[in-house]
């Protein structure tokens, strides 16, 4: 179960590894917390499209359905309203979040529908964002909060009564998509290939934090599904410019420079070996072989 804040997040974080697991027969459910109603239209070719402007939320639901089809995942909505990303005005004043938005919903109220889904779908692995939301968008931070709360509560029969039979996932991971080692490898690959690097400015402003080095715990080989990842992201046409330089880096070069999608193991109720994992189901699959055929079938 991959818990994301907005439609398109599932395609920019963990998409290739999700597609790989689907190809292996794993059931993957993407949970989208909000409809992305307050997102900007970032594709210049759609910025003035009447169909988009008439109902952005409906348009983004259609995009989400197409992306899910490309990746082969199941997808559902929690139904909360996008909080938007408040920006300071010229005086440095940040406006308040809009009333009723996802970020302002009380924690247990926001967590209850996710607990219900966990108990219904019965995933063995959850993926979500770290305590900073991956980046400090209010909806990403809230997604982290409800994911952690649901992981701890879903297996407890005394919590959230009436939302189904308790079910305890075995592991929880944070997406570690844009970490420095990966960006450096991709940037250096661009320089070697004579390509204008989309990572140069990003790295120039990078702020190193001592704790970041220990975050990388898991690398899932999924280079064969990078095309599916990009096609799913392009399906979110309002959110990405298909002619942008992010898609100008040759696929073979990407595979050679960094063939994995990366994660931080944040919670585990199964034994964890030393070194870098290469499978989100490490420590879980052996139980599937000995105890239950179901345990390899949901993520």
**Angle at CA of residue 144, ends 174 and 84, nearest 5°:** 120
Question: Known binder of ligand: residue 236?
Answer: no
Cβ atoms of 262 and 176 within 8 Å: the answer is yes
Helices (H), the chain: 9-12, 15-23, 50-54, 56-71, 107-121, 138-153, 180-193, 200-204, 226-235, 251-257, 285-290
Question: Known binder of ligand: residue 140?
Answer: yes
**3 state DSSP class of 27:** strand
**3 state DSSP class of 171:** strand
- Gyration radius of the chain over CA positions: 19
Rounded CA separation 132/115 (Å): 22
Question: Known binder of ligand: residue 179?
Answer: no
Positions at the binding site for Zn(2+): 6, 9, 140
Positions at the binding site: 6, 9, 140
């Amino acid at each position: 179960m991959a818990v994301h804040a907005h439609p398109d997040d599932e395609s920019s974080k963990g998409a290739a590894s999700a597609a790989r697991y689907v190809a292996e027969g794993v059931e993957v459910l993407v949970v989208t917390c909000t409809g992305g109603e307050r997102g900007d239209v970032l594709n210049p070719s759609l910025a003035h499209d009447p169909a988009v402007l008439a109902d952005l939320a409906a348009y983004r639901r259609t995009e989400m359905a197409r992306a899910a089809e490309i990746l082969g995942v199941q997808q559902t909505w929690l139904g909360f309203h996008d909080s938007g990303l408040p920006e300071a005005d010229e005086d440095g004043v940040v406006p308040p979040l809009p009333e009723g938005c996802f970020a302002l919903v009380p924690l247990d109220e926001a967590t209850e529908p996710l607990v219900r889904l966990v108990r219904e779908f019965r995933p063995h692995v959850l993926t979500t964002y770290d305590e900073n939301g991956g980046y400090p968008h209010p909806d990403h931070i809230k997604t982290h909060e409800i994911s952690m709360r649901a992981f701890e509560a879903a297996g407890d029969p005394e919590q959230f009564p009436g939302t189904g039979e308790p079910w305890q996932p075995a592991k929880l991971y944070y997406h570690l998509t844009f970490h420095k080692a990966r960006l450096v490898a991709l940037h250096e690959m661009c320089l070697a290939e004579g390509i204008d690097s989309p990572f140069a400015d990003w790295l120039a402003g990078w702020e190193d934090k001592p704790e970041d080095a220990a975050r990388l715990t898991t690398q899932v080989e999924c280079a064969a599904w990078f095309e599916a990842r990009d096609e799913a992201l392009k399906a979110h046409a309002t959110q990405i410019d298909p002619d942008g330089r992010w898609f100008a880096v040759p696929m073979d070069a990407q595979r050679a420079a960094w063939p994995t999608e990366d994660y931080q193991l944040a919670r585990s109720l199964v034994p964890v070996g030393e070194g870098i994992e290469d499978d989100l189901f490490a420590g879980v699959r052996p139980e599937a072989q000995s105890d239950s055929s179901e345990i390899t079938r949901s993520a």
